[in-house]
Amino acid sequence: MADNDNGASGFGWFLAGLGLGALVGVLYAPKSGKETREDLVSGALDAKERAAVLAQRGAEVASQYVDQGKQAVGQYVDQSKQAVGQAVEQTKQVAGEYVDKGREYYDKGRSQWTEYVEKGKSLVNEQQEKVSAAVEAGKDAYVNTTTHG
């Protein structure tokens, strides 16, 4: 890129020097006023044409740089989209793993809670049966002691 800039810039200075040299040559040439004016008009037209050519070349070079910039930005945008997409997928995967672990712990805790509740119910039933049996035994003992005694 830098070489291209120097070449275009150097060529522009060359043309400017060429035009200036032609102007100085015309002014110092032994010609009549009319011929000198005609030469100056001709030189001005030539300079105008050269300036138009240089402007066109400058526009072409600028267009190339704009195209290169667009391409580079497009590549960076594509790379960024890809990186963001990968990050989103990884986040989804990790979040899914945590959700699965959470469900696993919830299911395990619920299972243990259900088991403890069932054990508690069983113990209460056993104690209720023992108390009922003790009450019945107490009643029988009371009836036996009051009727036989």
Whether the Cβ atoms of residue 26 and residue 43 lie closer than 8 Å to each other? yes
Q: Which pLDDT tens digit goes with each residue over 65-115?
A: 999 999 999 999 999 999 999 999 999 999 999 999 999 999 999 999 999
5 band by pLDDT with thresholds 50, 70 and 90 = low
Q: CA neighbours within 13 Å on the CB side: how many for 99? A: 6
Task: Give the residue numbers spanning the domain of 101.
Answer: 2-148
- Assign 30 to helix, strand or coil: coil
- Residue type for 5, please? D
- Assign 32 to helix, strand or coil: coil
Number of domains observed in the structure of the chain = 1
